[in-house]
Copies of this chain bind each other. A is one copy, B any other.
Amino acid sequence: MDFTVTILGSGAAVPTSRRNPSGQYIQCRNRHFLIDCGEGTQMQMRKFGVNFNRITHVFISHLHGDHFFGLVGLLSTMHLMGRVKAIHIYGPVGLKDIVLMQLEVAKGKLAFELIFREIAPEESTVLFEDEKVKVTCFPLVHKIPTSGFLIEEKERERKLLADKAKKDGVKREYFHRLKKGEDIVAEDGIMISHLEYTEAAEKPKSYAYCSDTAYSEKTIKFVEGVNYLYHEATFIELLRDRAVATKHSTAKDAALVAKEAHVGKLLMGHLSARYDTGEEHVLEAKETFPDSECVEDGQIIQIV
């Protein structure tokens, strides 16, 4: 469970009893992120057992309401629940003013710091990076400036073959260097090979979030080879006209990106309220990319 995505909202702009507007909680190597925050996201987090206080970074894709109307409410609730830890908020120009204006009229002051950073929507930029995880934004194609997000694990340390190391009397103080792939010449002159006492770690995993967007060839390079691709599929091909007019994707569009980018698996969401289930989407997508599914609110996806 080192890398999971919890779907807080799999619907489009009009919420239904089945699908809330957009929101995803990402837990990756003990880092905790929120991508988008439509109205009711805090209620969904409570419903699905997500701990508000763990979240350190929020990434807002664009300023259509179904992707951010829940943000100021979430921040207010964090305050009322005693949060003191700063929170980082990444989003388009304008988001900061909207949040601050609404907090201002309440004449209250949050007990924690809001650290805003504006996303330049035309660029691919690293937004977050530490020794274990990296988050990058990249441009999508929608009616207003919109960013996708790529969450990548970094290379893990090699795994120690602890039993063998102990049996052979390898000193504990060498373990850390061996895991980093160093060979060590011990005090007695004997070479200790990292290949003998460690094995390769799991390959790092990656997840990309593309919502909202029309189909675009330019997306492909940004999501090339990710393990899981979440791509909006507001419509199916029957409503291609609506997809074109509103700069959204069909299930086929999403599947095309998945196929061309050689991803591991396609997850579709942001379904229009007119669709009760995602069955038609899945049928349509599988014609182009077999490993396709539609997500549901509350679903927890393990990125493997």
> For window 6-26 of chain A, which residues contact chain B by CB distance below 8 Å?
13-17, 20-21
A65 proximity list for chain B (CB < 8 A)? 72-73, 76, 102, 106
Contact status A64-B106, CB under 8 Å: yes
Q: Which of B63, B72, B81 contacts A69 (CB 8 A)?
A: B72
Contact status A13-B101, CB under 8 Å: no
Q: Which of B40, B64, B144 contacts A39 (CB 8 A)?
A: B40
Which chain B residue lies CB-closest to A102? B98
Contact status A69-B14, CB under 8 Å: no
Q: Does A131 contact B (CB under 8 A)?
A: no
Minimum CB–CB distance for A2 against chain B, Å: 29
Contact status A102-B47, CB under 8 Å: no
A39-B73, A107-B143 known; A16-B46 Cβ under 8 A: yes
Q: Which of B17, B77, B92 contacts A14 (CB 8 A)?
A: B77
Q: Which of B39, B77, B94, B98 contacts A42 (CB 8 A)?
A: B39
Q: Does A70 contact B (CB under 8 A)?
A: yes
> For window 33-49 of chain A, which residues contact chain B by CB distance below 8 Å?
39-40, 42-43, 46-47
A39 proximity list for chain B (CB < 8 A)? 39-40, 42-43, 69-70, 73
Which chain B residue lies CB-closest to A143? B107
> For window 165-207 of chain A, which residues contact chain B by CB distance below 8 Å?
none
Q: Which of B40, B47, B105, B107 contacts A98 (CB 8 A)?
A: B105
Q: Does A80 contact B (CB under 8 A)?
A: yes
Copies in the complex: 2
Q: Does A241 contact B (CB under 8 A)?
A: no
> For window 41-86 of chain A, which residues contact chain B by CB distance below 8 Å?
42-43, 46-47, 63-66, 69-70, 72-73, 76-77, 80-81
Q: How far is the CA of A150 from the CA of B77 in the complex (A)?
A: 30
Q: Does A130 contact B (CB under 8 A)?
A: no
Q: Does A97 contact B (CB under 8 A)?
A: yes
List 27 interface pairs A-B (beta carbons < 8 Å), by A numbering. A13-B76, A13-B77, A13-B80, A14-B81, A15-B42, A15-B77, A17-B46, A39-B39, A39-B42, A39-B43, A39-B69, A40-B40, A40-B43, A63-B105, A64-B106, A65-B73, A66-B73, A66-B76, A69-B72, A69-B73, A69-B76, A95-B105, A97-B101, A98-B105, A105-B144, A107-B143, A107-B144
Extra contacts besides A15-B77, A39-B69 (8): CB < 8 Å: A13-B76, A15-B42, A39-B42, A39-B43, A40-B40, A69-B102, A94-B105, A106-B144
| Leading 6 A-B pairs by shortest Cβ distance | A63-B105, A39-B73, A94-B105, A69-B73, A40-B40, A65-B76
